[in-house]
Structure 1
Amino acid sequence: MVSVLQDPLEKDLEAGSGNEVVTHHLEKTGALHHLKTLGSQLDALGVETRGIERVPEDARVDTKLWHNGEVWLAANCVIPSFGIGILGPGLFGLGLGDSLLTIILINLFATIFVALLSTFGPKLGLRQMVGSRYSWGWYGTKFVALLNCIACIGWSAINTIAGGQILRVVANETLSNAVGIVIIAIITLVLGFAGYKYVHVYERYSWIPTAIAFIIMLGVSAKHFVNVPMPVGISEAGDVLSFAGTIWGFAIGWTSLASDYNVYMPAEAPAIKLALWAYVGLNIPLILVQMLGAAVMAATTADAGWAALYANEQLGGLVWAALQSVGGFGKFLMVIFMLSVVANNIINIYSLGLSMQVLGTWFQYIPRNVYAIIGTGIYIPIAIVGATNFAASLENFMNVLGYWLAIYVTIYVEEFIIFRKCNYANYFTAETWNDPKSHTVGIAAFLALCCGIAGAVLGMDQVWWVGPLAKPIGEFGGDIGFELATGFTAVAFPPLRWLEAKFLRSRGYNL
């Protein structure tokens, strides 16, 4: 069996023959041939079957650049964004003022990288993980893609937990969290299975009812808002840094799939316009919805009834506390909030299949759509099990996600600025995207990753580990993991990348 899996297909691909080889071998294999036939039938129904192959110029039919903003607007105008905001006062004990300032500043900074990486979709015609080969290397990108698969599953589970808790409160405890989780997962699967066009159509409109619901929540709950005093001193600094790490993890999480949603836009689209649309589309919902979450959570310090609802029902109870004054209409708004999770989750489920296909040639045999089904089957039980403690699950996941994505982004951006001279033409994607000899191996990126991990370990502040550089910050420490991970990686990668390129060029690589 091993000899079959390593036969001429892998060698042909490494020689650069690419997708034609995959098609040729699919025609010769039984079960895999049926997968190809299934793909053709789905394509006839308007379901996107294109995987990680480079999108040719004549297929770039999405000319409305504002689509690069709407997808991020909808994906973040959701109840999980609200859930991030509540962590400032609720988990880290911050005042309202410092919570709001942290939300604004960290989001404005983190989304710069998402906006930049989103420009590579039209310019290169490649999905995010495929474009990563130019900085992380042919083999290094496989590791990054694996981490991204794990992140997509984790995101989906965390998001559906929020929706499940809300539905349980709407149903007056007659339904379990699992019911809401399954409903959200099924709707997400249908859209993620259908592909790029359907994802964009859904995102174009889905944010509107959710935005209206958030505005109504603000109107009916504002009279309860209180200005929780802003603490001072080193303990406050530690809490702010830890909350900042959580916000960073949420915002920077989009970088690992930033260019998956605009590869059908023309290559001549101005990069500055692409970036600005993404930047605005991200920050409007991230900042405003998270600020609302922080304000509603801060109100629990002055209202025992709200505090009790949150203590008993977590996120769902807090949302109901803010909306209970409008009775049954409040329950209707909560259903909208529950369904808003779909707009966030389809991004993860759609990109999951693309990341899986990057893992290896044989993974490309399986259509992207099939991975959406597999991923859904994996994250549903994870969400059901983790639904008992939303805040802690969210905070732990965001921080760990933020560490590795800080490393990923640093390497990607340094490659673009230092080694590609900020010129997209220096990537030569039309000829080299699927040719291992035109990419680095990934040794430099891997070693820089190790340096970044060392920085994260020194600065992280988690229940299971507090780094030696985090301990002096605050009474219980303060998380500076993503900052140190970024710094260590930024220093290590350029010289390592230069040495790797010099070594590989002498051995026939076209770098």
Structure 2
Amino acid sequence: MSADADSEKGYYSPSSQDVAEGQEKVGERNVNKQAAERFGAFAPIMEKLFDYGVEARGVERVLENERNPKMFWNNLFMWWSVNCVLTTVPIGALAQAFFTLSFGNACATIFCFGALGAAFTSAIATLGPKTGLRTMVIARFSSGYVGGILYSILNILTQLGFAVTCVILGGQTLAAVRPDTLSLEGGVAIVAVLSVIPCFVGYELLHRYERYVWAPILLVMLFLYGLGGKAGYHPTAQKALEDPAGRFLAGDILSFGGIVFGSFTGWAPVAADYNCKLPANTSAWAVFFMTFFGLYLPICFISILGAALMTITDPAYVAAYADGSMGGLIAQTLTPWGGFGKFLLVVLALSVIANNMVNTYSAGISIQALGRPFAIVPRMFWTLVGFAAYTVAGIVGREHFSDILSNFLSILSYWTAFFMVITLEEHFIFRRKGGVLGGYNLDDWDSPSKLPLGVAGILAGCCGIAGAVVGMAEVWYIGPIGKHAGNPEFGGDLGFELAAAFAGVSYPILRWAEIRLVGR
């Protein structure tokens, strides 16, 4: 599909780079050499790494002649592999562990809030093929260069936060296999090291790994469902602890719903990263549904497994969760199969690598998106920096997995909510065909003087933060509106809903004024 055709559809204005280079594909060797030249004295070393298969590309835009339509199905399998992992199990367990919801209400909350989160994230994913840009760079077209930096900082913290939960749970589970010989710290370190190797190499190896790993993990999850049933599910086990109806129940559902929403929208700030090598004429609906089902089906299926395991009332299972958190409970569930059960436990522990690879890779890309001084540093170097950060954090926080996961996913949903609304409003209102701007000039992606000032995006983000503050309900703070949404002592979390609403109302007004005053 030509750049002119894309322009006619309102996707973007023709890129001079596409016009100049679109007729002739540069040889791979020359591409590697050109990519290495920007590293000065280290150029020969970098060129060697690139020749050996380490990804040369960083945050730069993927030109149309560099796209590959065969990557489409790889992306579907990638989302399955990323979410069909051990770290998805504890999300469902939080319904009973923190909010005393019954199994039925936990499932209903997962289905409903999950559909909402998956839909928003999938909409962001469609922008990858249209622009050839990473998600944090796309944000520059709504919030300017400075706004893009602010979002990149938030996303770096998000991806590292996800990585911490991955290495802690993977480490817990590995330690549960041989508690006398492997410490929790050692388990965390093993998972972290195995995660960083494919990310150092880059995009192609990551996709190749994710293409297949989902299948055996899905089989193990089915085994867990069966073994849990043999131990005895009791769907009404928490019913007596649940507030019967009305305000208190609503507060628990809203708070747990915020966690579920965050588990889906945590992928929104990186959703376009893994579609930017698809051709611009790839169907937006195909990308949307590929991403939606790649997120929705595995996350719902496996988080409900976590909620189901929490209904087992056998004292040995209750004690296993109390002593070893989710890793201990899963180990107990696999105990009837003896040595084979321990083998499956190792497989489950290592499944978190599929999830953590995406966190690690996108953290490196987001560090490059902080600006030109960061972009000239090789992506693989930033990958190693992220690896060091989350490994240390995982070892330090290894005993507090459930607390970290609960608070992290709640807070995550706040900023991703207003980020998604602002980005999508820019695309569908101002950049649409017939809109005020009529599309994107993608040559401007790294030109602060040609990008929007970002005042509208930053102010709308501040409005979103204000909405989150008045609506949140956390252990350490309950907003004035959140306090009235549930039990007065604990409140009900309306943070992400109000963050999205405040930003959604303010951004079109502010952006219209910015365009009228500045022209971009």
How does the TM-score come out when normalised to structure 1? Answer: 0.91
The aligned counterpart of 1:498 is 512
| Residue in 2 that maps onto 1:111 | 118
Match of 1:225 in 2: 233
Partner of 2:214: 207
Partner residue of 2:341?
Answer: 330
Matching of residues 136-155 of structure 1 within 5 Å: 136-155=143-162
Once residues 422 and 252 of structure 1 are traced to their aligned partners in structure 2, the CA distance between those partners, rounded to angstroms, is 27
Q: Which residue does 2:424 correspond to in 1?
A: 413
After TM superposition, where is structure 1 displaced by more than 6 Å over at least 4 residues in a row?
A: 23-26, 422-425
Measured after TM superposition, the shift of residue 175 of structure 1 is 1.7
The aligned amino acid for 1:174 is T
Structure 2 counterpart of 1:395, one-letter code? S
Q: 1:265 to 1:328 in 2, by over 3 A?
A: same
C-alpha distance in 1 between matches for 2:105 and 2:115: 15
What is the CA deviation profile of residues 335-391 of structure 1, one whole-angstrom value per residue up to 9, with x for unaligned ones?
111111100011011111211111111111111111111110111110011110111
CA distance in 2, matches of 1:151, 1:480: 20
Q: Does 1:285 pair with 2:298?
A: yes
Q: Cα deviation per residue 1:270-314 (whole Å; 9 max; x = unaligned)?
A: 111111111111111011001111101122xx2222111100111
**Corresponding residue for 2:7?**
none
Match of 1:8 in 2: none
Pair 1:165-2:172 in alignment: yes
1:273/1:391 CA distance change after superposition, 3 Å: same
**Aligned residue in 1 for 2:502:** 488
Contact 1:129–1:355 at 8 Å: present in 2 too? Answer: yes
After TM superposition, give the deviation of residue 212 of structure 1 in Å: 0.7
Alpha-carbon separation, structure 2, partners of 1:160 and 1:193: 17
Name the structure 2 match of 1:353: 364
Offset, 1:35: 3.8
Partner of 1:57: 64
Tell me the secondary structure at the aligned position of residue 388 of structure 2.
helix
Q: Which residue of 1 aligns with 2:21?
A: none
Aligned residue type for 2:262 = G
Structure 1 residues 369 and 280: CA distance shift in structure 2, 3 A: same
Q: 1:38 & 1:484 partners in 2: Cα distance?
A: 50
For residues 161-205 of structure 1, what are the alpha-carbon distances to aligned partners after superposition, in whole Å with 9 as ceiling and x for unaligned? 110111111112432211111111111111111111101110011
Shift of 1:61: 2.1
Shift in Å at residue 470 of structure 1?
Answer: 1.2
- Aligned-partner Cα distance in 2 for 1:421–1:365: 33
CA distance in 1, matches of 2:152, 2:302: 30
Task: Give 1:473 deviation, angstroms.
Answer: 2.6
In structure 1, runs of 5+ residues without a counterpart are 1-15, 18-22, 506-510
2:332 aligned residue: 321
CA contact (8 A) 2:166 2:352 kept: yes
Separation in 1, partners of 2:137, 2:281? 20
Give, in angstroms, the shift of residue 421 of structure 1.
2.4
> Shift of the alpha carbon at 1:491?
0.9
CA contact (8 A) 1:124 1:429 kept: no
Aligned residue in 2 for 1:382? 393
Does residue 391 of structure 2 align to residue 391 of structure 1?
A: no
User: Aligned residue pairs: how many?
Assistant: 481
Q: Which amino acid aligns with 1:238?
A: G
Change (3 A) 1:285 1:40: same
- Contact 2:84 2:302 (C-alpha < 8 Å) held by counterparts: yes
Shift of 1:27: 5.7
CA RMSD of superposed structures (Å) = 2.0
Match for residue 364 of structure 1? 375
Could you tell me which runs of 5 or more consecutive residues in structure 2 were left unpaired when the two chains were aligned.
1-15, 18-32
Aligned residue number for residue 11 of structure 1: none
* CA distance in 2 between partners of 1:423 and 1:124 (Å): 18
Q: Distance in 2 between matches of 1:201 and 1:382?
A: 29
